[in-house]
Amino acid sequence: MKFLQIQLIFFVAILIAGIANDIFGQPKRLVIPGGDTQQYYVERWTTDDGLPANTLLRIHKSEKGYIWLSSFDGVIKFDGIQFTNYTRANDNIPSNAISQIEEDSNNKLWISTYGDGIMSYQNGEFISENDENMKNQSIQTMVIDNDRIWIGTRGNGLYYHTGKEINKFKHHPAIENITISAISIVADGTIWIGTEGNGLVSYHNEQFQIFTTKDGLPGNKIFSIHIDQNGKLWVGTDLGLCWFNGKNFEPVAGIDPCLINTIFEDKKGNLWLATDCGLYRKTRDANKWAQLALADVIPSDFFTDVLVDDNENIWVTTYHAGLAHIKKSKFTNYTVRDGLATKAISSIAAYGDNRFLVGTNNGTINLIEHDRVGEFKLNTPLPDTRIRSILRDSKGNIWIGTSVGMLLKKRSGSEKWYTTENGLPDAEVRLFFEDSNHNIWFGTRAGGLVKVIGENKFEIYDKSNLLNSDFIMSIQEDRYGNLLVGTNESGLNIIKRDGTVKYITKEDGLASNLIFNTYTDQDGVTWVVTNGGICRMVDGKFFNITAAHGLATDAPFDFLEDAYGDVWLPTSKGVVKAGKKELNDFADGTIDNINFRLFDKQDGLEVAECTGAAKSVIAGDGSIWVPALNGVFMISPQEIGYNEIPPPVFITSLTADGRKMHVKNDTLRLDANVNRIIIDYEALNYISPAKVRYKFMLSNFDKTWIKAGHERSAQYTNLQHGTYTFKVTATNEDGIWNENPASVTIIVSPHFYETPLFYLVTAIVTTLLILAAFRLSVHRVNRRNKTLTSLVEEQTSELMEINRVLEEQKEELLLQHDLLAQKNLELEKAHTEITSVNEKLTKVNSQLEDKVEERTKDLRSTLDKLRSSNEELDTFIYRASHDLKGPTASLLGLTMLGKAISNDHRYLEFFDRIEDTAYNMNGILAKLLSMHVILKTTVSYVPINMELLLSDVKSSLNTSKVRFTLQSEFDTSPTFYSDITLLTIILKNLLENSLIFRNPSKELVIRVGVEKRESMIYLSVEDNGEGIEDSIKDKIFDLFYRGSQKSKGNGLGLYLVKKSVEKLNGKAEISSEPGKYTKINIIFPAKDIS
């Protein structure tokens, strides 16, 4: 009987324990023992993540901020994103077996090896620091004390490096020919030396003292020594940890008899142990050590080293499981591991102080109370369905909305289940709301808005009587007592206190008609959270803030304002934080951008995605509770912190045309032939390394900073010769930019033809050529002037003789005139009145005739002079062009001869440029001859074969240095007659114009088309070159007009086209788009000679 009672008691105890465990399951989060409930999360790297080796021995964080790791596979450097592995094969280091890395006061890294002594690393170079004593030594440990480096070897005792030489330490049997595995230097000069087998050795004032297991050490193999801030000596052995009480050693309880690899003390005075049986910590004021429960996140108990950085995050190296970073979470997560019934959570509601009801997706309601998760018991079993909403009203009643009905749990404990059968307009109850008059409202998926007016009485507002939608997404109240009702597809319904309603939709200014929630702040500003962004609504004006302005997504699910003026926006990518003042200032146009801060898995969220359309809760203590797809997370705004430390930025490498370049004194000199340079850079941030953003600028090239986002390299091509400064900076996850950018000076050397000497030589040669041509022209003009002078003198003599004969004839005429005058006087006497009138008329007519004759003579003289001048000018142009062709041809022959007899590439390049100049001069002379032909020629109509003509024109072009495609699109039977000379001039100059104004970034394509329509010929030439600006289209056919500085001619080509077209009684039209194409249409009449 007694046995049965004992069994019964035992069974009841187990049952009670099980029930208690079901109600409040123990959290399984990573919490550091001995501290508060701060959650940590672990980020781990192995060879699968780019870590060169999973077996790591030691860790060191340099003054610059890099994480350095020692391994059997070389030296490893980590910047938070990328691992860099320095090995014997690639970097010429003496050994890949690296035992330890330390740093001296000059920021030089000292690296010890197994088998090859020690080396140093500074400014990107590894240097062997061995002498004959250290060569081929295996180094077990290394300590830097001021300017002296203490070196413990394997099997060969203790050495020290003075900076100039390496010496063996005092000879003593305890440290002679044995492995030295640990060293510690005390301020009073005492040296503690740990050996592998001879215990611990103390050296002070030339005296040695030996401590072994007889003095309390757990074992005689010493692997770590540390003197804490209080002066207490800790010693780690292969069989556990102990401390020195001044006389002997006392073992530390609570730690298994394991190998203590490292003893580390953080800035707060907490002690850490890396052992082969786990990771341990003892807080400064505690007496006990506690082991961290890492088995679920780090699959190894063998920890080789531990480091706590300035952010109080923990770095550990393991023997087989790689590198781990244990970081503080900015959030408190509650998941199924802590006792939640399902991963995805649909609703949450406050349930008193530090108590919250959590709606799951299987009909269970969990209760979170004082960081513990249990189940909230109901008398009415809920269906296995989604708990869409929960509300605890001001009277203590609990309203629960599900996908299939609604449960009311009164404060008295009674419960009632509602469906469409007993009053609900729709079974899916999405959300509840209690207004300022303590009225309860709830929204449904398809039944509209419902107001509770009695225990079983509901007042329904839907499309039939008030609203513009029955799908309710949100219910809130503004400070005027208006009810703001958000819908799924019809925008916002504002139900005013007088019962009227106002509809606000996308047409009025909303970003979207799908409303997730609304919030009215103390200033009366209403923020509408939509599927298209956040809309600020104030005084009938709307302003939308979207992903285009930096928001993580266009669809935040809620809008929550904390007590510090910040806004929190749950989204599908995490939770976003922004200053409300910034939102208002941006909407008012007083600032240009908003600093949105996205918190996600890198900040401690187990799953970043928040539950869509779910409402979050602000608790009485200011904490924010957000439902997510992997549970619930809690935000304590006052504890989130703000990273005010900008990330240090470094330029890591520069590559020129695929070749790594060495930068000396922050200056890089590049050859003139370098086409592409790549500059790699990085910033160190171990809190949220993936959220580091960069911007860079190359002075004398970039006009402003280039936003690079997360990109860690910059590329530049075809830099002109000169001096540039490349600068790069970075911002941390909280938008703090480093005001001291990393920089490097880049000097690009000029080509020889870009040097002042080349310019001088070219100028001299060009001047000499011009002078020679000018002197030749002057000589020819002078010779012609002599001929003209002789001819003028001869003609002047003849004119003088004619003038003499005319003078004699004039005298005879005057005599006859006198006789006629006498007779006229006689007649005048007979006819006095008529003669008087006739004399007056004759006088007037005579004056008019004299003036007309005088003007006519002047005009004829001027016309004769103009004709003579034009004839002379035309003759001069023709003869000058013809005569200058000889020297140009000679110049071309000389350059060809020079190129044939010289192999020097500098002279060959010089002759190429002279040859180009000669070809250009030849082209100008050809155009001058063409002008003479146009002016003198008479249109001669002959049959035109366009294909043959186009082929002849193409072969006449100098296209040896230009690649292009010439396409012809001719009418099937383009039979017409025209002047072949004028057409040749037109086609050649249009094709030359296309070649000159080609776009060097793409292959040139020229299309020539000919079409005959009735009695007109339509000739078109189209290219895909640079195009012509609208502002100069009316000028390009003018004489000597040059449309671009790239033109190598004198503005004659298109003028010749114009004159040729006019000669054919035609017209020219142009259409163009800059950067895309230019098309010139020539329209002229065709002669149909049958």
Task: Write out the H or E segment, with its range, that includes residue 951.
Answer: helix 946-956
pLDDT at position 591 over 60: yes
Round to whole Å and give the CA distance between 509 and 536: 10
Rg (the chain; Cα; Å)? 49
The backbone region for 876, taken as left when phi is positive above 0, alpha when psi lies in -120 to 50, beta otherwise, is: alpha
> Please, what sign has the CA dihedral across residues 58, 59, 60, 64?
positive
| 953, 946 contact by CB (below 8 A) | no
Does 29 or 665 have the greater pLDDT score? 665
- pLDDT, tens only, 115-151: 999 999 998 899 999 998 898 999 999 999 988 999 9
Give me the mean pLDDT over the 624-641 stretch. Answer: 93
Q: Which domains does the chain have, with CATH numbers?
A: 649-750 (2.60.40.10), 756-910 (no CATH), 937-1085 (3.30.565.10)
Task: Tell which residue, 600, 557, 559, has the closest CA to residue 580.
Answer: 559
Task: Tell which residue, 130, 160, 155, has the closest CA to residue 140.
Answer: 155
Round to whole Å and give the CA distance between 152 and 158: 5
Query: Which residues, in sequence order, are bridge partners of residue 314?
Result: 308, 326
Q: Looking at beta carbons, which pairs linking 295-302 to residues 24 or more positions away fall under 8 Å?
A: 296/28, 297/30, 297/42, 297/44, 297/324, 298/42, 298/44, 298/324, 301/276, 301/277, 302/276, 302/277
pLDDT at position 505 over 90: yes
Following DSSP, what letter does each residue of 797-839 receive, concatenated? HHHHHHHHHHHHHHHHHHHHHHHHHHHHHHHHHHTHHHHHHHH
> Please, what sign has the CA dihedral across residues 877, 878, 880, 886?
positive
Mean pLDDT of the residues in the chain? 87
Task: Tell which residue, 87, 112, 110, has the closest CA to residue 99.
Answer: 112
Does 25 or 897 have the greater pLDDT score? 897
Longest alpha-carbon distance in the chain: 189
- Predicted TM-score (pTM) above 0.85: no
Task: Tell which residue, 555, 553, 533, has the closest CA to residue 544.
Answer: 533
Task: Tell which residue, 443, 487, 444, has the closest CA to residue 468.
Answer: 487
Round to whole Å and give the CA distance between 992 and 959: 9
Q: Is 857 exposed, middle or buried (0-12, 13-18, 19+ CB in 10 A)?
A: exposed
pLDDT at position 230 over 60: yes
Query: Which residues, in sequence order, are bridge partners of residue 737?
Result: 731
> Please, what sign has the CA dihedral across residues 942, 943, 944, 948?
negative
Q: Where are the beta strands (DSSP E) in 79-190?
A: 83-86, 98-103, 109-113, 118-122, 125-128, 139-145, 148-153, 158-161, 166-168, 180-185
Task: Write out the H or E segment, with its range, that includes residue 1005.
Answer: strand 1004-1013
pLDDT of residue 958: 76
pLDDT of residue 211: 97
Least confident of 72-76, 444-448, 1013-1017: 1013-1017
pLDDT at position 363 over 50: yes
- pLDDT, tens only, 849-888: 677 677 667 667 665 665 555 555 555 555 555 566 667 6
- Which DSSP category does 1076 fall into? T
- pLDDT, tens only, 873-928: 555 555 555 566 667 666 767 777 777 787 777 777 777 777 666 666 666 666 76
The two structure tokens encoding residue 355: 């108590």
Round to whole Å and give the CA distance between 254 and 234: 15
Crossing angle of helices 905-936/1053-1063, nearest 10°?
A: 20
pLDDT of residue 868: 58
pLDDT of residue 947: 87
Relative to beta strand 722-731, strand 713-717 is: unpaired
Task: Write out the H or E segment, with its range, that includes residue 40.
Answer: strand 39-45
- pLDDT, tens only, 205-224: 999 999 999 999 999 999 99
